[in-house]
Every structure is written in structure tokens, then in C-alpha cells.
Amino acid sequence: MGLTPKLLSGAGVYADIKLTTTSAGNDPYYLDDVTVDQAELAYADRRVDDQSNWVSVNLALVMAVSRDFAVYGGAGYR
């Protein structure tokens, strides 16, 4: 986030971008010959999510109302 008190009367931009960087198959502990069902039974693992690639983007405009308070409005994509 960046606020510009001397420019644009304290307006700024907030940006947050997250995305998948590597494949789980590249992990040294990844066992490609073990199915999800086998892992749940043998290793007491629990399936949390089945999405392997994702992107999250949030953008907002920020306005400094005072030295200690700012408001913002924006949108995101997941």
C-alpha cells in the first residue's frame, strides 16, 4: 500500500496479488504413486482442498482521512 500525503491529497493505491508458484509434484516429499484415499488411510491425512492452481487479486483506492485513519474501497478476484 502506498499513500501520498503531499500528492493527490493523501490518496493511494492498495494492491495484493497471490498466486501458485510451484507444483506440488516438485516437492521432494510428494509421492506420485499414492492416491488421495491411500494417503488418508495410511498417513491419517485429511483432504483440505482439491484446487492446485489459483490466483487472488485485490485492488483498492485508499484515502488518508487523518494521520491515524484511512478508508479504502476496492474489488478483488479469486
Question: To the nearest whole percent, how much of the chain has pLDDT over 90?
Answer: 14
Q: Residue 6 pLDDT > 60, yes or no?
A: yes
pLDDT of 67 over the 70 cut: yes
Question: What is the pLDDT, as a whole number, of residue 58?
Answer: 94
For the chain, what is the domain count? 1
Q: How confident is the model at residue 57 (pLDDT cuts 50, 70, 90)?
A: very high
Place 8 in a pLDDT band, splitting at 50, 70 and 90.
low
If you average pLDDT over residues 17-46, what whole number do you get?
81
Residue 35 domain boundaries:
2-77
- Considering all CA atoms of the chain, what is the largest pairwise distance in Å, rounded to the nearest integer? 61
pTM of the model: 0.49
Q: Give per-residue burial for 6-38: e unless 16+ CB within 10 Å, then b.
A: eeeebebebeeeeeeeeeeeeeeeeeeeeeeee
